[in-house]
Amino acid sequence: MRRTTVLATALSALVIGLASPSGSQAMPTGKAVVGVAPATGSESSAPTVTKSASTELTPSQVKEAKLVTALKKTYEFRERSKAVRALQRLLGNLEVDGYYGSQTRKAHISALTMRGLPTTHVPEVSYPQSSGPRFPSDQSMRCPKWEAKFKEYGLPVEVFSYIAWRESKCNPKAVNARWNSQGVMTYALNKNGTWDSGLVQINSSWIRTVREVCNVDTGSMRQDLEALLKVDCNLKMAKWIMENTSGKLRNWSIYGG
């Protein structure tokens, strides 16, 4: 009886040993294989490794990609558009007004050069040629009441009609300074202490010419300049300035022509 029991026990141990994995094949306790898929069927026996690294771009990389796209676009000089506004916003350090002028062009070229990109598509600087003085075409900015007088004194009617509107709002008595009862100036629009008088606002620095052209000389500068409040004296001075100075209309900040 005892011999039979011993043989049965030994046989059971042998069967258990054959069913257990060998030492070299046993999987260590507490370990896990991650990212390796076993090959099956006719597929390659090489294991397939899954990638976990992120491929998303950073915000700075996204901005740079957008900027490069905007830099490669073609623009017209003096163009005003949403595309130019987007370019200015991406470039930074520019006024975002949507206008492609000299400052935007300069920044555009600089950004292309820094990135080793071609600049051949950048527009050339170009301004329209003026055939006459530049001033607003809005006819509400005119003094039609005095246009016959401008013509009488040989002044360019359209531009002086605008000058009179801008300078005095068509008021021949306009003066851009004030004095108190003692004759002391209490206000002057001009920061240098001079003042402008009359329909087209002749400056007080012309006092000697005013005395000659308008034939006045009371001995008082302020009183003599009051002659400019008469339309004829005012326009005689405007005509003298136009005929005897190199600045001509530039004396009224009108350019072109």
What pTM did the predictor assign?
A: 0.51
Could you state, in order of their start, the residue ranges of all structural domains in the chain?
59-114, 133-256
pLDDT 10s digits, 213-241: 999 999 999 999 999 999 999 999 999 99
Q: How far is CA 208 from the centre of its chain?
A: 46
Phi and psi dihedrals of 140, rounded to 5? -75, -15
Mean confidence (pLDDT) of the chain: 84
Angle between helix axes 82-91 and 102-114 (nearest 10 degrees) is 60
Q: What is the mean pLDDT of residues 84-92?
A: 94
In sequence order, what are the residues at sequence separation of 6 or more whose Cβ sits closer than 8 angstroms to the Cβ of residue 37?
A: 47, 48, 50
Q: Residue 144 class from Cβ within 10 Å (0-12 exposed, 13-18 middle, 19+ buried)?
A: exposed
List Cα–Cα distances, 250 to 131, 173, 245, in angstroms: 16, 23, 10
Q: If one looks up domain 133-256 in CATH, what number appears?
A: 1.10.530
β-strands 177-179, 202-203 pairing? unpaired
Residue 100 near residue 120, CB atoms below 8 Å: no
Work out the average pLDDT over 43-57. Answer: 58
* pLDDT one-digit tens code per residue, 139-192: 999 999 999 999 999 999 999 999 999 999 999 999 999 999 999 999 999 999
| pLDDT above 90 coverage of the chain, percent | 68
Once rounded to an integer, what is the mean pLDDT over residues 50-78?
A: 86
pLDDT at residue number 132? 79
